[in-house]
Structures are given as structure tokens and as C-alpha cells.
Amino acid sequence: MDRLLVVRCPDLLVDDEGGAGLRTLAGVLTAVEAYCPWVTAVRPGICSLPARGPARYFGGEDALVDLVRTAASAVTPAEVGIADGLFAAVLAARHGVVVPAGGTPTFLAPLPVGILGRSDLAELLDRLGVRTLGEFAALPDADILGRFGADGAHAHRVAGGRSGELADLRDPRTARLLDGGDPGGPVVAEPGFWGGASDADARAARCLATAQELLGPDGVVTAHLQGGRSPAERSRFVTWTDDGRPSARVADPGRGGPGPAPWPGRIPPPAPAVVHPDPVRAELADTRGEPVRVSSRGLLTLAPDRLSVEGGPWEPVSDWAGPWPADERWWSRSRRRAARLQAVTARSAHLLLVERGRWWVEATYG
């Protein structure tokens, strides 16, 4: 399960009509981006970032939490926490704690079932004398699906820390309003597939539903393409549903898209086959071991000679190209010197992102 850091801003949790809350949240994103460029707006007042890579950079998870809390608190009151999976991480932020890796079930156990936000389920469980997530999680799997349905079964997995997030935890509109770069418009499923008329379709739908029972709804997804500059921006993963449509929470069309955009700064094709879902820390150095940086004019300060990924051994860089200026999201107030670079080593070719002097492996031409 993803190790996530969540920033929770209590003053911004209510969706406001005028958009002041969103603008403030945008300020929080900008502030937090100083530590990790992969910040995602989850819903009003809440954003998250993958914790593993940045924690290694900043001397551990506690140090990262302190840095992010200080940065976000300069904008608005903010609570910060880390746990496995989004559901637990939001609660960890609420309590201002770092839940150790693997400790999520223990952390969740004493919390009331009402926290799942399913009042019918909570009422039912209350009648059975089940009041905490731990008690709920202890109920045998076999009894859950028949009694509480698919959503209940998934909530059961979340309560036990076996699945990371509830289906309605994310508000796609928030992310979209803040991203400002989604020309995709509504997601329309191609007619006649996922449970369509044919035998093969029905068979596939059945077995994928089985896999979803096993892994939770978000365990089975499909990829959809959209506009954007970076490889990560250009695809979107949508929870698979067998009613022939991607799930409504992502299919929400939101605003009409502006149509195809030129996306200046896009890396020329071919596209990388692997886009790392968590940022991978990297170091890039010249022949003397000096770190390579990008100048204010968008040029490399030194010629790259060697690359280290995730603190691994130095590998010679046989070839490289770039830098290309990386995207600046519209809310960024400060001008950032972010850029992308292609680097080839004996084993692989990577797309690197540099921001504020820190290098990340964003994608690999696997």
C-alpha cells in the first residue's frame, strides 16, 4: 500500500462557493511542492503526497512531517500525518502522527466505525455490538459480503488496513480545478464493452469483478489518456466498474475542456513505458562528482556523467539530452527552475525531473 503524507487544513474542509478555500489550498500546494513535486489535491482542504522518496531526502518521515507542516502552516492552519493508504493517512494527519509502516491496522483499531462515513453500516454494526474499526475488521470476510454488500465488504477491508481508501474519499473536482490542465472532458466508455452482449465480455466482466472483491474496487482500473506535458499527467487511472462505464466519481465531466492544447515543453515521443507512481530519488553528477544543476537560464551547469537511483551505486551516463522546461502549474506563484532530462545508462534510459536542485526519476523507458 502507498505510504502517504497528508496535509489537512481544518479551515478549508468545507467546499465554499466563492472558491476562496480552493485558492488557499492552491497556496498550500505551492508551499508543499517545495519538498515534493507530486502533491495531489484530494478534496477540499486535503492534499497528499507519496512519502517514501521525499522522506529519504529530508532525513526521515518525522523530519518530512515537520518541514511540510511548517511550510503549509505559513499559508493556513495545517495538520500533517503519514500512514499506509489514504484513509489512514487522513486520520493520521487529524491526529498529527506518523503511523509506522505496517502499523495501520493497530492505529485504526480503536477508532469508531462511524468514521467510515457510512451511517447505515454504522447503525447495523452498532446493533451487533460492533463499535470500533478493530471489532469490525475482526468479523470474518465470509460473513461480510452477503450481509453488507460490496461497499460494506470494501469498508471492511479498509477498517482492517488491508485496503487504502474508500471509494468516496477523493473529490475529483478539487483535483481538476487545481490542475487546470485537463482538456479531457467526460470519460465516455466505448459502447458494448465491460459486460456487454458478447460471451467473452461477460466472462471478462465476471472475473474482473472477482478480482475486485479480492483487492477492493481500486484494485482493478483502466487507463485513459488526456492532455498534459509530463508522462504522468497524460494518463489517468479510472476504477473499473462492470456497468459499462468508468466509475462516476471520475467520470464527472467537470468543466468543458478547451480541446487539444499544444503543451509546450512536452518531451518528444516515444513515450516511456514505465511511469513511476512514486517519485524515485536520484542524484546526477559530473565527472568530478559535483551535483548537476539547472541554471536560471534553463541550462545545465555541468555535463552529466553519472547517475545514482534511490541511493544505489553510481552508473555511468552514456548519453543524455535536454533539459526541457517542466510545467509550471498556474497556481505557482514563485518561478521554479524545474526541468526534465533524458539520461541513458548501461541498464536503462530514464526521464529525470530536477526541481530546486533535487533530481527524481519520473519515468523509465522500460
Partner 1 sequence: MFVSAPGRRLTRDLDPAALAALSALAERTRPVAASRTRLLPVLPALAGLLPDGALRRGSTLAVGGSGDDGALSLALSLVAAASASGSWCALVGHPGLGAVAARDLGVDLGRLALLPRPGPAWAEATAAVLEGVDLVVLCPPFPPRRDMARRLVARARERRGVLVVVPGRAGWPEPADLQLRIADAAWEGIDAGEGHLHRRRVTVTATGRRSAARPVHCGLWLPDADGRVSPADPPGAGG
Rounded CA separation 42/40 (Å): 6
Q: Does 125 bind partner 1 (CB under 8 A)?
A: no
The span of 63-71, 100-108, 314-322, 325-333 binding partner 1 (CB under 8 A) equals 314-322
Number of residues that bind partner 1 (CB under 8 A): 57
- Quick one: 28 or 267, whose CB is closer to partner 1? 267
Q: Does 13 bind partner 1 (CB under 8 A)?
A: no
- Quick one: 142 or 346, whose CB is closer to partner 1? 346
**Cβ of residue 75: shortest distance to partner 1, in angstroms?**
31
Q: Does 293 bind partner 1 (CB under 8 A)?
A: no
Q: Does 303 bind partner 1 (CB under 8 A)?
A: yes
The span of 35-43, 133-141, 172-180, 227-235 binding partner 1 (CB under 8 A) equals 227-235
**If DSSP states are collapsed to H, E and C, what string results for the chain?**
CCEEEEEECHHHCCCCCCCHHHHHHHHHHHHHCCCCCCCEEEECCEEEEECHHHHHHCCCHHHHHHHHHHHHHCCCCCEEEEEECHHHHHHHHHHCCECCCCCHHHHHCCCEHHHHCCHHHHHHHHHCCCCEHHHHHHCCHHHHHHHHHHHHHHHHHHHCCCCCCCCCCCCHHHHHHHHCCCCCCCCCCCCCCCCCCCHHHHHHHHHHHHHHHHHCHHHCEEEEECCCCCCCCCEEEEECCCCCCCCHHHHCCCCCCCCCCCCCCCCCCCCCCEEEEEEEEEEEECCCCCECCECCCCCECCCCCEEEECCCCCEECCEEEEEEECCCCCCCCCCCCEEEEEEECCCCEEEEEEECCEEEEEEECC
Q: Does 320 bind partner 1 (CB under 8 A)?
A: yes
Binding-site member from 220, 284, 307, 353 for partner 1 (CB under 8 A): 220
Q: In the stretch 233-272, what mask flags binding to partner 1 with x, by CB under 8 A?
A: -xx-x--x--------------------------xxxxxx
- Quick one: 340 or 358, whose CB is closer to partner 1? 340
Range 40-69, binding partner 1 (CB under 8 A): none
**Cβ of residue 27: shortest distance to partner 1, in angstroms?**
30
- Quick one: 103 or 272, whose CB is closer to partner 1? 272
CA contacts within 13 A on the Cβ side of 95:
13
- Quick one: 34 or 274, whose CB is closer to partner 1? 274
Rounded CA separation 61/5 (Å): 9
Q: Does 87 bind partner 1 (CB under 8 A)?
A: no
Q: Does 285 bind partner 1 (CB under 8 A)?
A: no
Q: Does 174 bind partner 1 (CB under 8 A)?
A: no
**Cβ of residue 267: shortest distance to partner 1, in angstroms?**
7
Residues near partner 1 (CB under 8 A): 1-2, 189-190, 193, 199-201, 203-208, 210-211, 214-215, 219-225, 231, 234-235, 237, 240, 267-277, 300, 303, 319-322, 342, 344, 346-349, 363-366
